[in-house]
Amino acid sequence: EALLAEAAEPGTPPRPCPCPLPSGDTALSRLVRRLLSARRSLDLCLFSFSCPQLARAVQLLHRRGGRGRLVTDAQYMGLHGSQIGRLRHAGIQVRHDQHSGYMHHKFAIVDRRMLITGSLNWTTQAIQSNRENVLVVEDAEYVKAFQDEFEKIWEEYNPANYRFFPQKQ
Amino acid sequence: EALLAEAAEPGTPPRPCPCPLPSGDTALSRLVRRLLSARRSLDLCLFSFSCPQLARAVQLLHRRGGRGRLVTDAQYMGLHGSQIGRLRHAGIQVRHDQHSGYMHHKFAIVDRRMLITGSLNWTTQAIQSNRENVLVVEDAEYVKAFQDEFEKIWEEYNPANYRFFPQKQ
Active site residue: A99, A104, A144, A152, which one? A104
Among candidates A47, A130, A142 on the partner chain, residue whose Cβ is nearest the Cβ of B101: A130
Interface of B with A (CB under 8 A): 47, 97, 99-107, 117-120, 125-126, 128-133, 135, 142, 146, 149, 153
CA-angle at B77, arms to A124 and A45, nearest 5°: 40
Contact A133 B118 (CB under 8 A): no
Among candidates B107, B119, B149 on the partner chain, residue whose Cβ is nearest the Cβ of A106: B119
Q: Is the confidence at residue A97, as pLDDT, over 90?
A: yes
Helix (H, G, I), strand (E, B) or coil at B128: helix
Q: Which residues of B are catalytic?
A: 104, 106, 111
Residues of chain A contacting residue B135, judged by C-beta atoms under 8 Å apart: 117, 135, 142
Report how far residue A41's alpha carbon sits from residue A165's, in angstroms, rounded to the nearest whole number: 35
Q: ipTM value, please give it.
A: 0.86
> Residues B83-121: pLDDT tens digits?
999 999 999 999 999 888 999 999 999 999 999 999 999
Where does residue A80 rank: exposed (0-12), middle (13-18), buried (19+ CB within 10 A)? exposed
pLDDT of residue B88: 96
Contact B131 A107 (CB under 8 A): no
Report how far residue A52's alpha carbon sits from residue A81's, in angstroms, rounded to the nearest whole number: 9
Among candidates A97, A104, A129 on the partner chain, residue whose Cβ is nearest the Cβ of B119: A104
The answer to whether A87 touches A59, Cβ cutoff 8 Å, is yes
Which pLDDT band, with edges at 50, 70 and 90, does B10 fall under?
confident
Which of B28, B116, B108 lies closest to B72 in space, CA to CA? B108
pLDDT of residue B19: 60
Residues 6+ apart with CB under 8 A from A104: A47, A73, B119, B120, B126, B130, B131, B132
Shortest distance, CA A131 to any CA of chain B (angstroms): 5
List the single residue in B with minimal CA-CA distance to A139: B139
Among candidates A102, A120, A133 on the partner chain, residue whose Cβ is nearest the Cβ of B149: A133
Shortest distance, CA A65 to any CA of chain B (angstroms): 30
What domains, with CATH codes, occur in chain B?
27-159 (3.30.870.10)
Above pLDDT 70, what percent of chain B?
Answer: 89
Report how far residue B45's alpha carbon sits from residue B41's, in angstroms, rounded to the nearest whole number: 13
With 0.90 as the threshold, say if the pTM is over it: no
Which of B32, B35, B2, B31 lies closest to B16 in space, CA to CA? B2
